[in-house]
Amino acid sequence: MNRSSPLRPCMILLLSSLIVVMAACSPMNPRPQAGVQGLYVFYCGEAHIPDISPWSPGFNVGKPMDFSDNCYLIKHGDDWMLWDSGFTDALVDTPEGVLGARNMRMVRTRTFASQLDEVGVSPAQVRFIAFSHTHADHVGNSKLFPTAMLYIQQAEYDAAFGPEPMKYGFVPSMYATLRDNPTVKLQGDFDVFGDGSVKIISTPGHTPGHQSLLVRLPKTGPVVLSGDIAHFEENFVNRRAPGFNFDVEQSRRSMDKVDALLKAEHAQLWINHDAQQTKGIAHAPAFVE
C-alpha cells in the first residue's frame, strides 16, 4: 500500500509559491514603472528669416519664415529631465534681436529662468539634461544646470570640445560650462530611465552627433522631439536637408530612421522650429500629459 509522504504537501506548497513568484516576474507581468507623468513646453526664443531657401535648397527662394524655438521639461517619477535650452536669456536685453548667420534675426521676449520659476521648478531640481545638438539656439541656457547629468553623443562631444568647434557652427561660449557637468557619452540610441518611456535616438547629419528624443506621454501618446532633423514639416516630408548640414546624406538617412520610428510607434513628430505646428502645442504653464 502506497502512503503519501508527509513532505508532499510542503512540496506542493513550495512549488505553488514558486509559480506565483515566476508569474510576477514574467514579461507578461512586468514590474510597475513610474514612467513619464508629462512635460512642459517652454517658449525659448524665435528667429525671423527673410529667405528660407538655404534651409530647403532649390525651394522657397525669397520666401520669409519665422522659426519657433522650444525647450522641453519632462517629469519622470521624482525626476526632471530637460531637453534643449533655447536661445540665451541674455537676448531679452536686446528687444530688437540680434542678427545671426544667413541674416537670421534671433529674438527672445521672455527668459527661460522666469518660465521655470512660474511652474515651480528650480534649475537645481533638474537632474538630467540632453540637447538635440550643440548649436547656440539649443544650448543657450545650459549654464543654468551645472550639476545635472549630461547625455551627449560621443561624436557631438568630440566636435564641440575639439580643436575646431566653429567648423560645425558651434559657439563654445554658449556651452563651455558643460565640460564640467557629470557626463554620459553615448554611441547611439539610449534608454534614459531603463523603462522605455524616454529614449534618446541617434540622428546624426545636421551635426556629427545630433540626436532626437522619443517620449511616451500617458495621454498624448508617444512623441518624437525632432531637434533639427528637419526645420519644418515640408522639409521632413520631402527629405530636404540644408547644404550647411554636417552631412546631407546622413541627414536624410536620419529622417528615414525617424519616419520608421513614427510609424512603428504611431507617434507624433514635434518639429522644434516649425512655428505653425508649435502654435497648436500647449505651452507652459500647461502640463502636457
pLDDT tens by residue, 120-134: 999 999 999 999 999
Residue-wise pLDDT tens digits, 88-127: 999 999 999 999 888 899 999 999 999 999 999 999 999 9
Contact 248, 8 (CB under 8 A): no
Residue with cell 507623468: 37
Domain count for the chain, please give it: 1
Residue 26 within any structural domain of the chain: no
Q: What is the greatest pairwise CA distance in the chain?
A: 101
Residue 171 within any structural domain of the chain: yes
Q: Measuring CA to CA, which residue among 28, 80, 115 is closest to residue 198? A: 80
Tell me the CATH number at 92: 3.60.15.10
User: CB within 8 A of 13, min separation 6: which ones?
Assistant: none
Residue 22 within any structural domain of the chain: no
Residue 139 clears pLDDT 90, i.e. is over it = yes
Q: Measuring CA to CA, which residue among 101, 38, 68 is closest to residue 233? A: 68
Residue 242 within any structural domain of the chain: yes
Residue-wise pLDDT tens digits, 41-90: 999 999 999 999 999 999 999 999 999 999 999 999 999 999 999 999 99
Residue 1 within any structural domain of the chain: no
- What is d(CA 33, CA 192) in angstroms, rounded to the nearest whole number? 13
Residue 265 within any structural domain of the chain: yes
Contact 212, 199 (CB under 8 A): no
Q: Quick one: pLDDT at residue 33?
A: 52
- What is d(CA 192, CA 199) in angstroms, rounded to the nearest whole number? 6
Give the pLDDT band (50/70/90) at residue 159.
Answer: very high
Q: Quick one: pLDDT at residue 3?
A: 40
H helices within 1-132, ranges in order? 8-25, 112-118
Residue with cell 515640408: 234
Contact 209, 155 (CB under 8 A): yes
Burial 213-248 (b: 16+ CB within 10 A, else e): bbbbbeebebbbbbbbbbbbeebbeeebbbeebbbb
Residue 27 within any structural domain of the chain: no
Domain span at 66: 36-279
Burial 255-271 (b: 16+ CB within 10 A, else e): bebbbebbeeeebebbb
Residue 8 within any structural domain of the chain: no
